[in-house]
Structure 1
Amino acid sequence: MTPRGTLRPRLAAALLALIAPLAATAATLEAGAPLPPLALEDQHGKAVTLGAGTRLVIFAADKAASDLINEVLAAQPDGVLTRLGAVYLADISGMPALVTRMFALPTLRAMPFAVGLGRDAAQLADLPRRKGAATLLRIDAGRIAGVDHATSPERLRQALGLGSPP
């Protein structure tokens, strides 16, 4: 039996141990926040960076968003991401490794544009996301100038300034 005076410090320490990891998780980025450095590879194993020329980050947090972005970008002429000053990132951390190797990577390698792949959930955890929506982060001088979400090909083309399908 423990004395009553020692129970409270132990309980407080246990609660702190449970809460500390939650406080340490990254907050979702918003307008005005600096663009965080990222160390990702694309579907071909090449480094993907967010450099000084990056004006737009297009982010897919789930398969529906990825399918939407792929549909819109695949219909564009080669070099669309470069012309837009854009980097496309996809969170594939929840995908089983076998599915990634056998299905996702071969499909992605056939795409005419690079996709930075977040294989670890922590890599892209602070990017804003909505289920089934493509996230667009507008970048100005290394800071997030605006956040937008698109749930349809028309809305995504409009947000990217691409107009009607070719």
Structure 2
Amino acid sequence: MMKKIILISLLTVASLFSSSFKVGDNIGVFSLPNQFDKKRSVDPSVQTIIVSFEKDTGANVNNFLDSKNVDFLQKHHAVFIADISGMPSIITKLFALPKMRDYKHSILLIYNENDERFIKEEGKSTLYRLQNGVIKSISFITKDDLEEVFK
């Protein structure tokens, strides 16, 4: 009986990471660590999620957010997520995290390369628009689109 419970639990967790979010999906509640290694929850109050998968797209979003007030993301019911799973851990610890800690905004981090919840397009960040935790639209944006995202 205990083996069945463990197996079901593992399959449930695996299914969370095995398919990408689609329009109409309810994202539920999930947590990711930020650049200070503090867990932050993404819940139905979030209306905008921006996810970057590359160094350049992440830098563009960070530069944009760094030019805003410290509570900009919170006021806009938004989160910024950076997928750093492909980065070697030594580079992450020695260079990337110290640089990220200089930013005044929170950056949620994906360390697990098997986390495929978010879709990506090369050279762009992914923008998820949500309402009550349900994905209403998914689009791909560049740094030139960031100001328009928050109007």
Select the structure that is richer in strand. Answer: 2
TM-score bracket, normalised by the shorter chain, equals 0.7 to 0.9
Residue 49 (structure 2) aligned to one of 33, 46, 57: 57
Q: Which residue of 1 aligns with 2:112?
A: 120
Structure 1 unaligned residues grouped into runs of 5+: 1-23, 162-166
Tell me: CA distance 1:25–1:50, structure 2 relative to 1, closer, same or farther (3 Å).
Answer: closer
Task: After TM superposition, give the deviation of residue 154 of structure 1 in Å.
Answer: 2.4
Whole-angstrom CA distance in 2 between matches of 1:138 and 1:26: 21
Does residue 1:159 correspond to 2:121, yes or no? no
Structure 1 residue identity aligned to 2:131: D
Residue 38 (structure 2) aligned to one of 40, 46, 53: 46
Count of residues in Structure 1 that have an aligned counterpart in Structure 2: 137
Task: After TM superposition, give the deviation of residue 36 of structure 1 in Å.
Answer: 4.6
Structure 2 unaligned residues grouped into runs of 5+: 1-15
Q: Which residue of 1 aligns with 2:140?
A: 149
* Alignment TM-score, normalising by the size of structure 1: 0.76
Percent of aligned pairs sharing the same letter: 24
Task: After TM superposition, give the deviation of residue 43 of structure 1 in Å.
Answer: 0.5
After superposition, the C-alpha distances for 1:2-45 in whole angstroms (9 at most, x for unaligned) are: xxxxxxxxxxxxxxxxxxxxxx9723322111115433110111
- The higher-RCO structure (CA 8 Å, 6+ apart) is 2
Q: Which runs of 4+ in 1 moved over 3 A?
A: none
Q: Which residue of 2 aligns with 1:66?
A: 58
Q: Which residue of 2 aligns with 1:4?
A: none
Which structure's CA Rg is the greater one?
A: 1
Does residue 1:82 correspond to 2:67, yes or no? no
Q: Which residue of 1 aligns with 2:129?
A: 138
Tell me: CA distance 1:46–1:25, structure 2 relative to 1, closer, same or farther (3 Å).
Answer: closer
